Amino acid sequence: MTDEVMVAKITEHDRHLDALSSAIEHLVATAATTNLKLDKMVDVLSAQNVIKERLNNLEENLKESFERVHSRRDSTNGRLGKVEDIIDSVPTPATIRWGVGILIAYTFVSGNYIVSHLHTLESDTFASKQTHSLHLAGVQERLNKLEESYEK
């Protein structure tokens, strides 16, 4: 090969090397940009994993919370059933009013009977006292007659 051919080939190779060098520089710049983007993507993915873990924990906590709420509601319903049984066994206010009314009427009637009976007893006692003095005078008179007849 002649020198000119060699120089031409070297020049051509030099052009290719320059193009290759600029392509490699462009590739390095692009790789750096890609690495930055990958770093940001890793940060986003790690944040997304943290959010995903929190959502899973929130879901588990929410599930446990609802289970607790349902168990409390079930126990409250059980206690309500017992209270309803007690309420069913207690007389109604209307029944209580009837009972109190009957008790008041009975008290009134028995009070009237007792008062009238006491008035009867008082009037009998008063009449007995009135007639007692008459009977006593009559008995006294008979005793006097007996004593007179005995003395004679």
Total domains present in the chain: 2
User: Which residues, 6+ apart, have CB-to-CB distance to 112 below 8 Å?
Assistant: none
Confidence at residue 54, expressed as pLDDT on a 0 to 100 scale? 94
Instruction: Assess whether 26 and 55 both reside in one domain.
Output: yes
Instruction: Assess whether 68 and 22 both reside in one domain.
Output: yes
Instruction: Give the pLDDT confidence of 36-93 residue by residue, as tens digits.
Output: 999 999 999 999 999 999 999 999 999 999 999 999 998 888 888 888 888 888 888 8
d(CA 116, CA 119): 5
Domain that holds residue 27: 1-90
Confidence at residue 38, expressed as pLDDT on a 0 to 100 scale? 92
pTM: 0.39
Instruction: Assess whether 13 and 72 both reside in one domain.
Output: yes
128, pLDDT greater than 80 = yes
- Which residue has tokens 């009837």? 98
Instruction: Assess whether 77 and 103 both reside in one domain.
Output: no
Confidence at residue 81, expressed as pLDDT on a 0 to 100 scale? 83
Confidence at residue 90, expressed as pLDDT on a 0 to 100 scale? 80
Confidence at residue 152, expressed as pLDDT on a 0 to 100 scale? 64
